[in-house]
Amino acid sequence: MDSLLLEIGTEELPAGYIEPALRWLSSNLSKKLNNVRIEHGDIKTYATPLRLAVLVKNVHHQQKPQVLEITGPPKDVGFRKDGSPTVAAEKFAEKAGIPVNKIQIKQTPKGMYLFAEKVEKGVASKTLLKEILPEIILAIPFPKTMRWADLSISFARPIQSILAILGGSTISFEVGNIKSSGYSFGHRFTHPGRIKIPSPEKYVDLLAAAGVLVDKDRRRNIIVKEISKIAKKLGGIIVPDEELIDIVIHLVEYPVVMSGEFDKTFLELPDEVLITAMREHQKYFAVKNKTGQLLPNFIVVNNTRVKKIKKVAKGHERVLRARLADAKYFYANDINESMDMFVDKLKGIIFQAKLGSLYEKVERVQKIAIIISDQIGGGDDLRERVSRASWLSKADLVSQVVNEFPKLQGVMGRIYAQMTEESKNTAIAIEEHYQPTYSGGPLPETMEGAILAVADKMDSICGCFSVDLIPTGASDPYALRRQGIGILQIMSNKGFTFSLKKLIENSVELFKDKCDKDMSSVAQMVYDFLKDRVAHLLAEEGFAKDTVSAVISVSIDNVPDVWKRASALKKLRLKPDFEPLAITFKRVVNIIKKTDEADIGDVDPSLFQDNSETALNTAYEQIKENVFDNLGKGEFDQALLDIASLRDSVDTFFDNVLVMEEDVSIRRNRLGLLRCIENLFRIVADFSKIST
């Protein structure tokens, strides 16, 4: 068995394209090899800005043989009564490539038929790879692709070379106008010539000798070590930035780290502006001292070794000086205007064509935020801070700094608010209201930020649903799913127990002049949309599918309680007698579901005819008080255990009486008793959804 090596040499790839392409390449090449029955070992990927590569170990020389079962004619057609074969049997054996005496006879649903086993020998792996590899190369998905010359193929960037070898042998094929070979290329500046790769195992070392470190983990280790080392020499430490490291490792083929400095006057800029100006345009790392203050230095990762390192550093300093001068100019202009002036400018910025301007959005968000503040009983001070934060929440979007550095939205709002003596939490809320900005991202810490974040996201969701901008399939251009998850995470985290449904209705009502729909139907769509998000979150946290269904089918109106109910049900399911318990309660639910509401009466103890009816009603009345007491304390575990204690009484009831009694009054009374039981445990979950 030999190793397979495929390298696609290209013009410079965008850094963000590389990791997804490598994951796809590794996964799909493995699937393709398995599909054609080529056994193989581990897969390792390599990449630089100018190449994508995959190395597959222990690739079998040939396909695994396949035994095919071929069906022939019926037995009566293939053999005579005396057992001798007919012409049909002989022809079938000839087609299958076996002697007649090797024909098998098997029973099928249609009767006795002739069968034969044919061993299909495997094709040489190299032959199959000539077809597989070109298909794999052109199927790699990228956010955007391009065509070049007069070729019909497309790729992220023009393909310059293809290295494809199995062991020491070249796999010959063409992609566009590029023929595969056994050659790679070294560093474009220091070793630009072709490099013969005699075997896949020598690929990494030969390229390293030619100035190319194809192992991205090795480049990362060098970068992390060197930037920390240089920062220490400067008397500081690197400002943590894992995302920037992930970008930089895919910008260089051979990392060479150096430092530079900038004028101390630029330290007058807010740290966030300085850091962003360095990282966004130049991909420079910022340095701070032990007390957390930025130093007038930066660290840069170059792509090649140079003799005149100081001259290169001066070039970086010159470029950064221009960037920082621009940032300083924008910042100076911004602080000459008030936040309220920024808000007024929002009238000219469209939020969404059908939903109006950002100014209109701010007005709606302010109303929703005030409603939430009142619902949680935060008092006048909180209400005032939330109202002010809402009003200023989008002000920085028209600032010159945010226009230059969009990632600073919210951050600059917080900075400008602090400069104009807004309250601390008001300023922080402006930054926090965008959170969480990504899956698993931090949630707002302040109550003001949490309220504003929920209000802003709810406005976006309700607005889009009002004008039919609803996510479909993989399409979600306004990131409504992420915003919905953010709402639920924040409400759960902050213990917002107010009615989600009422909040949706209040938010949707603000769009009644934007559409001609029935607003109650829009509110229901939003509620169902958020219910799906709750199901998604619970499933991600490891709750069983039927547990999730049982909990959310009851209600998601009190968001924090959804998680408490799910946890309580999960714990109850661990008890050894849960299965019969669930079966009993499912029986209660199913009877009630199949009965018209008009046929269910109120419970009248004077109509009881059996001791089991009295016993069940007594147990229910005793348990009910405890259940509601525990629910009031938020102790769902104990409440569910209290409800579960009714199981024996319910089982005895079913054993001793006929629920659907012919006497209408007795039947209605018994159904009424079962409905009381059902209503009690439906506070926590719908047991009819539990799999048993």
Nearest-angstrom CA–CA distance, 442 and 421: 26
- pLDDT computed for residue 568 by the predictor: 92
Give the model confidence (pLDDT) of 608-625 as tens digits: 999 999 999 999 998 988
CA distances from 50 to 111, 128, 189, 217 (A): 63, 27, 13, 16
Residue 306 pLDDT exceeds 90: no
Q: Taking residues 331-359, report their average pLDDT.
A: 95
- How confident is residue 55, by pLDDT bands cut at 50, 70 and 90? very high
Q: Taking residues 600-615, report their average pLDDT.
A: 92
Q: Taking residues 338-360, report their average pLDDT.
A: 95
- pLDDT computed for residue 230 by the predictor: 96
Give the model confidence (pLDDT) of 207-232 as tens digits: 999 999 999 999 999 999 999 999 99
Nearest-angstrom CA–CA distance, 623 and 10: 72
- How confident is residue 119, by pLDDT bands cut at 50, 70 and 90? confident
Nearest-angstrom CA–CA distance, 327 and 331: 6
- pLDDT computed for residue 597 by the predictor: 83
Residue 185 pLDDT exceeds 80: yes
- pLDDT computed for residue 593 by the predictor: 85
How much of the chain, in percent, has pLDDT values that exceed 70?
A: 100
Give the model confidence (pLDDT) of 66-100 as tens digits: 877 888 999 888 888 888 899 998 898 888 888 88
How much of the chain, in percent, has pLDDT values that exceed 90?
A: 75
Task: Tell me the residue type at 451.
Answer: I
Q: Taking residues 565-586, report their average pLDDT.
A: 89
Q: Taking residues 292-300, report their average pLDDT.
A: 96
Residue 485 pLDDT exceeds 90: yes
* pTM score of the predicted model: 0.82
Nearest-angstrom CA–CA distance, 517 and 362: 23
Q: Taking residues 287-313, report their average pLDDT.
A: 91
- How confident is residue 117, by pLDDT bands cut at 50, 70 and 90? confident
Residue (of 657, 662, 669, 658) closest to 603 by Cα position: 669
Burial (CB count within 10 angstroms: exposed 0-12, middle 13-18, buried 19+), residue 664? exposed
Q: Which three-class secondary structure string do you get for 437-459?
A: CCCCCCCCCCHHHHHHHHHHHHH
- pLDDT computed for residue 393 by the predictor: 97
Please provide residue 179's backbone torsions phi and psi, each rounded to the nearest 5 degrees: -95, 140
Residue (of 313, 306, 223, 221) closest to 260 by Cα position: 313
- pLDDT computed for residue 681 by the predictor: 83
- How confident is residue 194, by pLDDT bands cut at 50, 70 and 90? very high
- pLDDT computed for residue 470 by the predictor: 94
Please provide residue 313's backbone torsions phi and psi, each rounded to the nearest 5 degrees: -60, -40
Q: Which of 123-137, 583-597, 632-646 has the highest mean pLDDT?
A: 123-137
Do the bridges between strand 43-48 and strand 51-59 make them parallel or antiparallel, or are there none, so unpaired? antiparallel
**What 3-state DSSP class applies to 321?**
helix
Residue 261 pLDDT exceeds 80: yes
Nearest-angstrom CA–CA distance, 483 and 473: 16
Q: Would you give the distance in Å from CA 512 to the centre of its chain?
A: 33
Give the model confidence (pLDDT) of 504-562 as tens digits: 999 999 999 888 889 999 999 999 999 999 999 999 999 999 999 999 999 999 999 99
Nearest-angstrom CA–CA distance, 286 and 275: 6
Q: Please state, rounded to an integer, the average pLDDT across all residues of the chain.
A: 93
Nearest-angstrom CA–CA distance, 300 and 231: 11
- pLDDT computed for residue 411 by the predictor: 97
Residue (of 311, 310, 286) closest to 300 by Cα position: 286
Residue (of 459, 409, 406, 448) closest to 431 by Cα position: 409
Nearest-angstrom CA–CA distance, 42 and 83: 53
- pLDDT computed for residue 456 by the predictor: 98
- How confident is residue 140, by pLDDT bands cut at 50, 70 and 90? very high
- pLDDT computed for residue 102 by the predictor: 86
Question: DSSP secondary structure string, 449-502?
Answer: HHHHHHHHHHHHHHHHHHTT---BTTB-TT-HHHHHHHHHHHHHHHT--S-HHH
Other beta carbons less than 10 A from residue 277's beta carbon = 28
- pLDDT computed for residue 596 by the predictor: 87
Give the model confidence (pLDDT) of 357-408 as tens digits: 999 999 999 999 999 999 999 899 999 999 999 999 999 999 999 999 999 9
